[in-house]
Structure 1
Amino acid sequence: MITRRSLIAGALAGIALPSVLRAQEQPYVLGTLYPMTGLLSELGSIYTAATALALDHVAADKRLKKPIVLKAQDSQSTPQGGAVGMSKLANVDQAPYVLVGLTGVAKAAEPIATRAKVVMVNGGGVGPDLAGLSPYFWNIIPLADQELPTAFGWMKRNGIKRVALIYLDDPLGNALRKGLSEGLPPIGASLVGEFSAAPSAQQFSAMIAKIREVKPDLIYVASYGTQQTQIFKQLRDNGSTQPIMTYSVGGTPSVAALPEADGLLFTSQVADWDATDPLTRRFVDGWRAKHKDNPSTYAQNYYNAVLLYAQLLERLEKDGKPVTGDLLKESIATGTFDLVGGRARFSANGAIDMPTQLNRVQNGKFEKAS
């Protein structure tokens, strides 16, 4: 897998230009603010690999007058790291377009980016409050409230009446808690237990004992990273046999590799790796060649985020306009874009309109659930 170190090395190599040419031939800057260390470094590796693949394809197409150079900062999976990283990207690296992930990181970085008029594109965080966060903030992933109707549909079809929730006490966890408490009654179901976990928690036996007492038909888990996999493992090890459901973070390699996650249900955007359109084929075939497996929807999102930037740059070049955050923002708001998965348009609040599906972990693989 391509590492953050190799990406940064390539980026730095691209800026060694003679001073007399620098003003007119300075490359375009793409910033990334990924969790390369910390609880969610697994996701940062996926984001990085997808970004690298897309940059390879954009360079091979030779449709831009200047190259794109990567400037990468590590959010360390924390809001504080996100704020520090965005400050460097905006004020030192002068990146007009930055890819971000994780709800808490994005919310911490947003005020800095907005003041500097830096466009942020999120392909990983799904907190509903990321919609309308800033005129400069755009989501290329469906948010949690856009995923929940698919979950509710499955629950209704399968007669789920009693739902227990384990949620991380952070902005995303609380947003999913709110979405479930509001969305379950209309389908004739209810939350029969709400169990919050601190970000550092790794032991859940006492919580699981309480979950057994409320006798749920389904357990919904709103967590991520190593905590999420520990919850799945301990639920099964402590005798919980009910279906377990989560949101799109269920589609990560560490979850697929966990025997106790077999049968897990998770929602995500629609992904068809067998689609025959040229964009999807190039992405999927390129990913399989490099990583010997199918991509995830997270990889699709960050690949698409780079394609979006290239298309924006191409339009500004064609119109003879400079690359600024304001002009990038305006072009996103008024344009339609060819991405993996189809043509996309963004709503006024920065959300992308994209269908969702329910998936299942089965024998270490992901498959669409009926």
Structure 2
Amino acid sequence: MKKLLVGLALLQTALAGPVLAKDYTIGAAFPMSGPNAEYGQVFSSAANLAAEHINADKKLSGKLSVIYEDSQGLPAQGVIAANKLMNVSKVPYVLSAFTGVSKAIAPIGARTKTVMVNGGGVGPDLATLNEYFWNVIPLANFEVTAIVPFLVKEKGFKRIALIYVDDPLGQAVLTDLTKEVKAAGGAVVGSFSIPTTAQQFSGVAARVRDTKPDAVYIATYGNQQVQLVKQLRDNGVSQPLASYSAMSLPSVLNLPEAKGLYYTSQLLTLDKNDPLVKRVEEDYKKKHGKEPNMYVLNYYNAVLTFAELAAALEKAGKPVTGENLLAQRKATKSFQFVGAKVSFADDGTVKSPIQINQIVGDGTSKVVVAGK
């Protein structure tokens, strides 16, 4: 009788079919309000599109959704946002942005064993936080290293003035730019720090003019960079401007005063015949009326990475936890991103060749150096 009951139980289990689909939620600590809200809008548009595509393709057994907490681009608010996502919502995977915010929340991720993925902050020390913190964007040291020889040697801009925001990103750029300009045979003739909340720059512009630079490098972000570019031009700084990937936002690309500005970004090979590239470009333009920029691709790729890892864990019968996501990433040789096949270095950073772009003046930019 006992054997009969066991047999019936096994038969009932077999007839029950596959395990019920499991829905997944990941989080994002983005600036959804304040002077950096434009970034949050761009980042979230990418994450949402990726989730939509993943669900349409049924990459996972259940539905994937993204929940957002507002970091405002500030470290203290970022910690509040991260705590909600990791300790209350208990998501296994969090999208991060901004160097200061990322450094502030990294210890929470390490403590809770939550994977954090940055696609926007570029401070070089983001490569050294902990094994649960990954980067899908080249960091500032790679961007500075690529553009300095172009400015100093190819364009002949020997005297460089630097305006940098007084936070971890700006301080890192100050160190790297000073070193790289000297190595290229030029000189940083003036370095001027600005508070993160500053919006008035006529005094800084006067000090920059006094240094008589050949070019001015800007290391800040958000609405501050828009105001800085406008006020430099309004206050007589006519020299060429240069910066890093933060300048790829629409608010800068559409700014008349930014015409001619050089900025770096990761090298993208967007083959129009590649089905993934074509799908992302067409669907993003249909939804938002414009081409996806580098930040869109970064955060699309970040969400796609979660789906690839989670699908592999499902196939292996393992739960999708931060620990298992980390182990699966280490065991995965390469990932197909939009525009590139990549692998992660041991420090969790994707390293990519850098291209140099120049703002054309009609809301677009052109590539002037295809890879460094």
> Taking structure 1 as the reference length, what is the TM-score of the superposition?
0.91
Partners of 2:344 and 2:108 in 1: CA distance: 23
Distance 1:290 1:71 in 2: 20
Q: In the alignment, residue 39 of structure 1 is paired with which amino acid?
A: P
2:255–2:361 contact (8 Å) kept in structure 1: no
Quick one: which amino acid aligns to residue 356 of structure 1?
Answer: I
Distance 2:123 2:299 in 1: 17
* Cα pair 1:263 1:362 within 8 Å, conserved: yes
Q: How does 1:332-343 map to 2 (within 5 A)?
A: 332-335=329-332, 336-343=334-341
The answer on 1:89 being equivalent to 2:85 is yes
Q: Does 1:60 align with 2:59?
A: no
Deviations 1:135-157 (CA, angstroms, capped at 9, x unpaired)? 10000001001111221231121
Alignment of 1:24-43 (within 5 A): 25-43=21-39
Q: Which residue of 2 aligns with 1:259?
A: 256
State the distance in 2 between where 1:206 and 1:239 align: 12
TM alignment of 1:196-211, pairs within 5 A: 196-211=193-208
1:275 positional shift: 3.6
- For 1:76 and 1:158, how far apart are their aligned partners in 2? 37
Amino acid at match of 2:214: D
Q: 1:25 and 1:81 mapped to 2: Cα distance?
A: 35
Q: Using the TM superposition, name which of 24-33 and 190-199 deviates more.
A: 24-33
Count of residue pairs the alignment pairs up:
348
Q: Which residue of 2 aligns with 1:304?
A: 301
Is 1:273–1:284's contact at 8 Å kept on the other side of the alignment? no
Q: Distance in 2 between matches of 1:92 and 1:143?
A: 30
Give 5+ residue unaligned stretches, structure 1: 1-22
Tell me by how many angstroms 1:182 deviates.
Answer: 1.1
Q: Secondary structure, in 3 states, of the residue corresponding to 1:350?
A: coil
Aligned to 2:237: 240
Aligned counterpart, 1:17: none
Check the 8 A contact 1:71/1:93 in 2, yes or no: no
* Partner SS, residue 131 of structure 1: helix
Cα deviations across residues 76-117 of structure 1 (Å, max 9, x unaligned)?
Answer: 221111101111111111100111111111111111111000
Structure 1 residue ranges (4+ consecutive) displaced by more than 3 angstroms after TM superposition: 23-26, 272-275
Task: Tell me which residue corresponds to 1:184.
Answer: 181
State the percentage of identical aligned residues.
45
Taking the aligned partners of 1:180 and 1:361, their CA distance within structure 2 comes to 21
Tell me the equivalent position of 2:66: 70
The more displaced of 151-160 and 309-318 is 151-160
User: In structure 2, what is the equivalent of residue 369 of structure 1?
Assistant: 368
8 Å contact 1:312–1:332 — kept in the other structure?
Answer: yes
Q: CA deviation at 1:202?
A: 1.5
1:71 CA drift (Å) = 2.1
Q: CA deviation at 1:282?
A: 1.1
2:8 maps to what in 1?
A: none
Task: Please say which structure displays the higher CA radius of gyration.
Answer: 2
In terms of mean alpha carbon deviation, does 69-78 or 312-321 score higher? 69-78
Per-residue deviation, residues 265-318 of structure 1 (Å, max 9, x unmatched): 110011344542121111111111111211110000001011101100111111
User: Secondary structure of the residue that 2:128 maps to in structure 1?
Assistant: coil
Map 1:119-268; keep pairs closer than 5 Å.
119-155=115-151, 156-268=153-265
Match of 1:19 in 2: none
SS in 2 for 1:216: coil
Distance in structure 2 (CA, Å) of the matches to 1:67 and 1:254: 34
Question: TM (normalized to structure 2)?
Answer: 0.91
Amino acid across the alignment from 1:32:
A
Rounded to whole Å, the distance in 2 between the matches of 1:318 and 1:48 is 28
Gap runs ≥5 in structure 2: 1-18
Aligned AA (1:175): A
For residues 272 and 153 of structure 1, what CA distance do their matches in structure 2 show? 23
Give the Cα separation in 2 of the matches to 1:85 and 1:113: 12
Pick aligned residue for 1:104 from 100, 118, 126: 100
Q: Which of 329, 352, 355 in structure 2 is aligned with 1:354?
A: 352
CA RMSD of aligned residues (A): 1.4
Q: Is 1:333–1:347's contact at 8 Å kept on the other side of the alignment?
A: no
Give the 3-state SS of the residue equivalent to 2:66 in structure 1: strand
- Give the Cα separation in 2 of the matches to 1:199 and 1:92: 30
Secondary structure of the residue that 1:184 maps to in structure 2? helix
> How many angstroms apart in 1 are the aligned matches of 2:182 and 2:272?
37
Shift of 1:353: 1.6
